[in-house]
A and B are shown apart, each in its own frame.
Chain A
Amino acid sequence: MQPTVVPPLSPLLSVRALTFRWPRAPHDVIDIEALDLRPAEMLFVRGPSGCGKSTLLSLLAGVLTATSGEVSLLGQDWRTLSTARRDQRRADHVGYIFQQFNLLPYLSVLDNVLLPTRFSAQRAGRASERGRKPGQSAQALLEELQLGAAFWKRAASELSVGQQQRVAAARALIGRPELVIADEPTSALDEALREAFMELLLRACAAAGSALVFVSHDARLAERFERQVDLPTLNHRAGAAAELQAA
């Protein structure tokens, strides 16, 4: 893996001397010297299970805060913000895609996509740019992810896993957040679906101008990304995390 170079633009996301330890745990699970992400950059983070992946993503998204060191989004350290401010900032700037079960089963596809605009005025505002209604932006995104009008009113629970993941991608991208975090979004997909999903996700992120942090244990996906890091190498405490998970 290439060493982290100082990016020319001011970083979107910046990690400095980050450590994290669960309350009452004997060891740190995360110990990362530095990691930067430029705006609109596509970063692949490779990591087998148990190297602190989920913990790192929670730290990047501001759900967890660093035990020491700094994780900054758009120049703002998460740790300096109150819980409520962090929630608001995440709603405004971060889209998140889970491995699976991304959708609220009782909402329609369209309402699922529109969820972030209900919690963030900023994203609602961006989804309404160029005289469009948020609903129209959501429809455009779904079209872009090859989910036509026939799907929009359906209950999320009626979709296949592959379709659900594309709806999740549309939701992460609505209102063009600066950062999209994807936590193994393809692990539940078979190979053909996986390729198609990667293609669509990367294209949609590029179109929205969102940076992407994509975590997967599957190294074959790495080549699609302009930059790759290896989490066990990056995280000096990857072993400890694995121990903890095994315990």
Chain B
Amino acid sequence: MKALFTIAVQSAWNRRFVLSLVVLSIALSAFLLLGIERIRVDVRENFATSVSGTDLIVGARTGAVQLLLYSVFHIGSASNNIKWSSAQALARNPAVAWTVPISLGDSHRSFSVVATTRTFFEHFRYGDRQAVQLAQGHPFEGVFDAVLGSEVARRLRYESGDRLVLSHGDGVLTSNDHADKPFTVVGVLQPTGTPVDRSVFIGLDGMEAIHIDWIAGAPMPGLAVPADQVTNYDLNPRSITALLVGLKSRAAVFSVQRAVAEFEGEPLMAVLPGVALDELWDVVGIGERGLLAMSALVSLVSLAGLVAVILTGLNERRRELAILRAVGAGPRQVLVLLAIEGALITACGVLLGALAQMVAIVLLRGWMQAHFGIALQARPPSTNEFLLLAAVLIAGWLASLLPGFRAYRLSISDGLSPRI
């Protein structure tokens, strides 16, 4: 066996140029499989860690997934708001321990602005029930104070004391800037690896203040209220986008959910973040399976390439097989030789693909984080990834049995005198 292995290695090395192409195509398919699996897992991880310790998310009636997406991930927008009075009524429910109101809609240089209250810093949890921590400064106090997520501060090079102007909506139209009412950075949060990093936090009163002279999404002509006079106005919010709710006991979650659904003031809904996430995965899962099937097909094609290359080479190797027969190798050993060769090539390809995946993650993680907000992690392959690699390996080895059997039959029919 050891002799066959050495011969297989040396024989393959002798044909390294052709075989390296096969190795590359197998590497590519392994890379695809691993890459898709890693992105799938890390995206889920990112989503799952973004909200923790929140028992219910309350918002206007819409889909559970949509509510989760806009309230926590700032993806898409709310169809409707909640009245502030409704939020206050909910907060008074005896089963509710705390609530964190969230008001969205503005942005700063494409980072979303989250208007909330100081309860956010007390109650919001991410990851493994971790509270958000300030890296510098303090939570907002004044009307025009802002606290930045770590990535906002890093990318825009902001520090405490810097001034920033918020834009109405997504900030595409400069006429929509709230330039008359700039905010001051008073604190920067530590990195969390969640959408918090890409958010600008202000108080609900600040949100109210910048829109005080606006009506229906546009500044009202002739009614500009200077920044230093806003405190003369009522800055209590009239509505918010969503309400994060923590309960005294998780056992009450369904009764509170029902209470929200039956709320009389306006149509509301409450979703369990975990349930909404599962629903999201059901939707996303279809696409994931499609991608996985695609890369499985790529693997299949590259394994077909492996078989084709070894099979084509076989005719030129009949002399080699006859020599091996003459020095005592049997047809079965010829078969084993080809199987070793196939396994070696597949193993090289799979290893190369795994290596490429790690290198790609290290090189691209910054870019992925910046553009898609997906934090990829450079870690050793997971069990699932190992299973995928093993599947490619086994499939490659099985595929190489095909030329193996051909070689077996050739070496029986040729014996010591190949008819070339």
User: Are the CB atoms of B331 and A83 closer together than 8 Å?
Assistant: yes
Report the bound CA distance from A26 to B395 in whole Å: 43
B323 adjacent to A102 (CB under 8 Å)? yes
A163 at the interface (CB under 8 A from B): no
- Give which listed residue, B11, B320, B333, B416, contacts A58 with CB less than 8 A: B416
Question: In the complex the two chains form, is A54's CB within 8 Å of B417's CB?
Answer: yes
* A46 at the binding interface (Cβ < 8 Å): no
Distance in angstroms from A2 CB to nearest chain B CB is: 29
Residue numbers in A under 8 Å from B292 (CB-CB): none
Q: Does B121 sit at the interface, judged by CB under 8 A?
A: no
Q: Is A88 an interface residue (CB 8 A)?
A: yes
Distance, CA A54 to CA B3, complexed state (A):
28
Nearest-neighbor residue (CB-CB) of B329 within chain A: A119
B328 x A98 contact (CB < 8 A): no
Contact assessment for A103 and B323 in the assembled complex, using a CB-CB cutoff below 8 Å: yes
Which residue in B11, B319, B328 is a CB contact (below 8 Å) of A87? B328
Tell whether, in the assembled complex, residue B416 and residue A83 are in contact, meaning their CB atoms are under 8 Å apart.
no
B332 contacts A57, C-beta separation under 8 Å: no
Q: B14 within 8 Å of A by Cβ?
A: yes
Expressed in whole angstroms, the Cα–Cα distance for A54 and B322 within the complex equals: 13
In the complex, which residues of chain A have a beta carbon less than 8 angstroms from the beta carbon of B10?
Answer: 104, 106-107
Interface residues of A (CB under 8 A from B): 54, 57-58, 61, 63-64, 83-84, 86-88, 90-92, 96, 98, 101-107, 115-116, 118-120, 171, 183
Partner of B415, one of A63, A91, A105: A63
Cα separation A90 to B333 with both chains bound (whole Å): 14
Q: How far is the CA of A105 from the CA of B328 in the complex (A)?
A: 18
Contacts A106-B13, A116-B327, A118-B3 given; does A98 touch B333 at CB 8 Å: no
Known: A104-B323, A106-B11. A96 touches B416 (CB 8 A): yes
A183→B329 CA distance, assembly (Å) = 19
**Inter-chain contact count A-B, CB under 8 Å?**
74
Chain A to chain B contacts (Cβ below 8 Å), 24 pairs: A58-B417, A61-B326, A63-B325, A63-B416, A84-B330, A84-B332, A86-B330, A87-B325, A87-B330, A87-B332, A96-B416, A101-B319, A102-B323, A104-B10, A104-B320, A105-B14, A106-B13, A106-B14, A107-B10, A115-B324, A118-B6, A118-B327, A119-B327, A171-B327
Q: Is A119 a contact partner of B14 (Cβ separation < 8 A)?
A: no
Residues of A close to B416: CB separation below 8 A: 54, 57-58, 61, 63, 96, 98, 183
Whether A119 touches B417, Cβ cut-off 8 Å, given contacts A104-B11, A104-B320, A106-B11, is no
Main secondary structure, interface of B, reads helix
Given A54-B417, A84-B332, A87-B332, 19 new contacts (CB under 8 A): A54-B416, A58-B415, A58-B417, A61-B416, A63-B325, A83-B332, A87-B325, A87-B330, A87-B333, A90-B328, A91-B327, A91-B328, A101-B319, A104-B10, A104-B323, A107-B10, A118-B327, A119-B327, A183-B416
B415 with A87: CB separation less than 8 A: no
Are B417 and A87 neighbours in the complex by a CB distance under 8 Å?
A: no
Bound complex: CA of A142 vs CA of B393, how far in Å? 42
Chain B hits for A183, CB < 8 A: 416-417
Q: What residues of chain B lie closer than 8 Å to A119, measured between beta carbons?
A: 3, 327-329, 333
A residues within 8 A CB of B415? Answer: 58, 63-64
Q: How far is the CB of B86 from chain A (nearest CB, A)?
A: 80
For the side of the interface on B, what is the size category?
Answer: 20 to 34
Q: How far is the CB of B185 from chain A (nearest CB, A)?
A: 68
* B328 contacts across to A, CB distance below 8 A: 87-88, 90-92, 116, 119-120
When each residue 1-37 of chain B gets 1 if its CB lies under 8 Å from chain A and 0 otherwise, what string results? 0010011001101100000000000000000000000
- Bound CA span A96–B329, Å: 13
Which residue of chain A lies nearest to B328 when distances are taken between CB atoms in the complex?
A91
CB of A96 within 8 A of CB of B326, answer yes
Interface centre among A106, A107, A116, A183 (most CB of B within 10 A): A106
* CB–CB A115/B11 < 8 A: no
Least CB separation from A87: chain B residue: B330
Cβ distance B3 to chain A, nearest Cβ, rounded Å:
3
Distance of B418 from chain A, by nearest CB (Å): 9
Nearest Cβ on chain A to B298's Cβ, whole angstroms: 31
Max chain A C-beta neighbours (<10 A), residue from B10, B324, B328, B331 = B328
CB distance from A64 to the nearest CB of B (A): 6
Which residues on the A side are within 8 Å of B13 (C-beta)?
106
Q: Which residue of A lies closest to B323 (CB)?
A: A104
Please, how many angstroms separate the alpha-carbon atoms of A87 and B330 in the complex? 5
- By a CB distance below 8 angstroms, the chain A residues around B329 are 87, 91, 119
State the CA gap A86–B417 with chains docked (Å): 17
Q: State in angstroms the CA–CA spacing of A63 and B6 once bound together.
A: 24
Contact partners of B326 in chain A: CB under 8 A: 61, 96, 98
Residue interface mask B301-332, A partner, CB < 8 A = 1: 00000000000000000011011111111111
Q: Tell me the smallest distance from the CB of A109 to a CB of chain B, in Å.
A: 14
> A171: which B residues are within 8 A, CB to CB?
327
Complex contacts, B332 vs chain A, CB 8 Å: 83-84, 87
Docked complex Cα distance between A92 and B329 (Å): 11
Nearest chain A CB to B400 CB, angstrom units: 19
Give the one of B13, B329, B333 with max A CB within 10 A: B329
Report B5 CB to chain A, min CB distance, Å.
11
- How far is B418's CA from A101's CA once the two chains are assembled, in angstroms? 11
Hey, which chain B residues are within 8 Å of A90, CB to CB?
328
